[in-house]
Each structure stands twice: as structure tokens, then as C-alpha cells.
């Protein structure tokens, strides 16, 4: 990675031109810094986790001021989720990309290892998701409602008979907080390694048996029509070594 890119991103760069900067965010890296809180309920003091891009972050504008110039964050991944993360290098392109997200015109495909075998092997989950927010965390949950505001498509790529696990390709139609994790758990197929919504006993077993210490949820592909050139881009991020190793052990 050249000096200019190092001054912008802490993550491997998957694609870059004069408008877009698309990176492969590792697990453990924040998409953006957490807001500074004080008083009761504030997170414990200590060294803050690194964010995907360098420099100060402006929450209102969703912009990093990096040593190599401003970078606008277009979406986010949970801290423990790896994969493709989209940013732009100018405000106008940021507005165009955010509009594509709002119109659901950006393709987002994830790989997830889940407990059990979904029936049918491919299908759609449509639920109504709500959030419970406190000072130091946010939790999603499914609420009984005739109106579905969260939708995804899933497809079983591989079923591991011995461990009773399924590797799913998931396409997000909507984008809600913790959506895949909440819906998977609600439909009785929690994501392996999920320390909030998952099966904790199973997570402990698979940490020992398969070496899976992080959540097995990876943003593998992001597809979009380039807002400036009109070219369709499909950007892919390889599965992290730990997750791939866990799959290999499951065979």
C-alpha cells in the first residue's frame, strides 16, 4: 500500500479511483469511532478501538478528515464483522452513493455460518425489527407486526452434517441495525460466534472444535453502479483466514 493510501485507511484497499475508496475491514476494527459519552452508562475508559479510516470523524457529515484528505463513510459494518466497506473521496459522490443505498440499489451479499439447517434451503425472511437503545449499547429485536421493515434473501451454500451448521449466502434487501444477526436468531439459526444474539454454549464448543473466536459474518460482496462512470462494479473481499480455517475443520 502506498503512503497516500496508508494515510487514509487502516484497512486493505479493494478498489480506489478519484471518487471511491472501498476497503476490506477486518474484524475488530470500527467502521467509525464510537461517540464520546460521559456520565452513567458510559463505556469504560481505555484505549479506543481503531476505526477503518484515519483522522477525526465528524458524525453529522459522516466524514473522516484524514492526513491525505477527507473520506466520507457511506455505510457501516459492526465492529466484529469483516468485509467490504464503501467510502467516497468527495461530498457529491457521497450523496449519490447514499441515495443508491436509500433506493436499495446497492447489492450487499454476506457469508454467514449459522446453527442448524434452514428449511427451505433458500428463501426470504421478512420481519419487523425494532431497537432498544441505552447509553452504551443498542439491541435489535423482532416485534410482532403486520408491517415488515426488514427483509433478506438467504441461500444455503453448504450443510455440515457432523456439526449441524449451514453456510449461507445472504443478500440484504434492507439495512437495519444488526439485521442479519437478529433475524437469523429469531428464525432459530443464530450466527456462529455472535456474543449478543447467538447460542452461547454452541459458540463455546465451536471455539474449541473449529477455532472460531469471532462472529462468522462476512460482507463478501458489494455491487453498485458507479455514480460517475456508470460502470457496474462488483467488489469482493476474501473470507478471513480464521473463518476459512474454521470451515475447513468442519468438513
Residues assigned a catalytic role: 78
User: Measured between alpha carbons, how far is 102 from 85 in angstroms, rounded to an integer?
Assistant: 16
Long-range contacts of 47-56 (CB under 8 A, 24+ apart): 49/79, 50/10, 51/10, 52/9, 52/10, 52/11, 52/23, 52/25, 52/85, 52/87, 53/8, 53/9, 53/10, 53/87, 54/7, 54/8, 54/9, 54/10
Strands 150-160 and 122-127: antiparallel
Q: How many CB atoms lie within 10 A of CB 134?
A: 8
Write out the three cell numbers for 46: 481505555
Contact 142, 182 (CB under 8 A): yes
Bridge partner list, 236: 221
Bridge partner list, 138: 133
Amino acid at each position: 500500500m502506498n503512503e497516500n493510501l496508508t494515510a487514509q485507511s487502516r484497512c486493505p484497499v479493494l478498489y480506489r479511483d478519484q471518487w471511491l475508496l472501498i476497503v476490506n475491514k477486518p474484524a475488530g476494527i470500527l467502521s467509525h469511532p464510537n461517540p464520546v459519552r460521559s456520565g452513567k452508562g458510559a463505556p469504560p475508559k481505555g484505549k479506543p478501538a481503531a476505526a477503518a479510516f484515519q483522522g477525526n470523524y465528524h458524525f453529522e457529515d459522516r466524514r473522516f478528515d484524514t492526513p491525505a484528505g477527507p473520506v466520507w463513510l457511506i455505510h457501516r459494518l459492526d465492529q466484529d464483522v469483516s468485509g467490504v466497506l464503501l467510502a467516497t473521496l468527495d461530498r457529491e459522490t457521497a450523496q449519490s452513493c447514499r441515495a443508491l443505498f436509500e433506493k436499495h440499489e446497492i447489492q450487499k451479499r454476506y457469508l454467514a455460518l449459522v446453527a442448524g439447517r434452514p428449511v427451505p434451503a433458500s428463501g426470504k425472511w421478512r420481519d419487523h425489527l425494532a431497537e432498544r437503545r441505552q447509553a452504551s449499547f443498542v439491541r435489535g429485536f423482532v416485534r410482532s407486526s403486520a408491517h415488515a421493515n426488514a427483509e433478506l434473501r438467504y441461500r444455503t451454500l453448504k450443510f455440515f452434517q457432523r456439526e449441524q451448521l449451514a453456510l449461507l449466502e445472504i443478500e440484504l434487501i434492507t439495512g437495519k441495525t444488526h439485521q442479519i444477526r437478529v433475524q437469523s436468531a429469531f428464525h432459530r439459526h443464530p450466527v456462529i460466534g455472535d456474543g449478543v444474539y447467538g447460542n452461547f454454549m454452541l459458540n463455546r464448543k465451536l471455539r474449541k472444535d473449529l477455532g472460531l473466536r469471532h462472529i462468522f459474518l462476512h460482507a463478501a460482496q458489494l455491487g453498485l453502479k458507479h455514480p460517475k462512470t456508470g460502470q457496474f462494479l462488483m467488489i469482493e473481499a476474501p473470507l478471513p483466514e480464521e473463518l476459512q480455517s474454521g470451515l475447513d475443520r468442519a468438513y
